[in-house]
């Protein structure tokens, strides 16, 4: 089984629409970097996604570094700053799609958003 994980910072004040947009950026950014064979399998299984939360930029960057170390495709979202946030605010991390087991070893202790 395959899935994609999106991690969103919970320490930033964002409207629900803004949160949705940040998750979308994370999802598409990571998707574009993923292995095409894995993407096909993930798509055939229904494109499972889960959105999790962290409490700080520091926590988000720790997950980003762990994922990169494991060579799992990922995308760190830095907001453009056109609406609610300052430019280049780091808001979210998209990971995968990748094997569910691999992702759970890294993100399995995080809580759902």
Domain CATH for 17: 3.40.1490.10
CA–CA distances in Å: residue 113 to residues 19, 66, 74, 85, 99 = 10, 20, 19, 19, 21
What per-residue confidence (pLDDT) applies to 97?
98
d(CA 99, CA 113): 21
By residue range, what is the domain housing residue 35?
Answer: 2-112
- Only one residue has tokens 């894995």, namely 38
d(CA 13, CA 83): 12
CA–CA distances in Å: residue 11 to residues 14, 88, 90, 109 = 9, 16, 11, 18
Domain count within the chain = 1
pTM, whole model, 2 decimals? 0.95
In the predicted model, residues of the chain with pLDDT beneath 70 are none
What per-residue confidence (pLDDT) applies to 16?
96
């Amino acid at each position: 089984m395959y899935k994609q994980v999106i991690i969103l910072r919970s320490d930033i004040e964002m409207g629900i629409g803004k949160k949705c947009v940040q998750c979308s950026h994370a999802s598409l950014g990571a998707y574009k970097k993923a292995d095409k064979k894995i993407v096909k399998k993930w798509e055939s299984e229904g494109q499972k996604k889960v959105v999790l939360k962290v409490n700080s930029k520091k926590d988000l960057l720790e997950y980003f570094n762990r994922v990169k170390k494991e060579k799992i495709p990922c995308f760190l979202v830095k907001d453009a700053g056109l609406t609610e946030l300052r430019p280049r605010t780091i808001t979210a991390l998209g990971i995968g799609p990748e094997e569910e087991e691999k992702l759970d070893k890294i993100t399995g202790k995080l809580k759902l958003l």
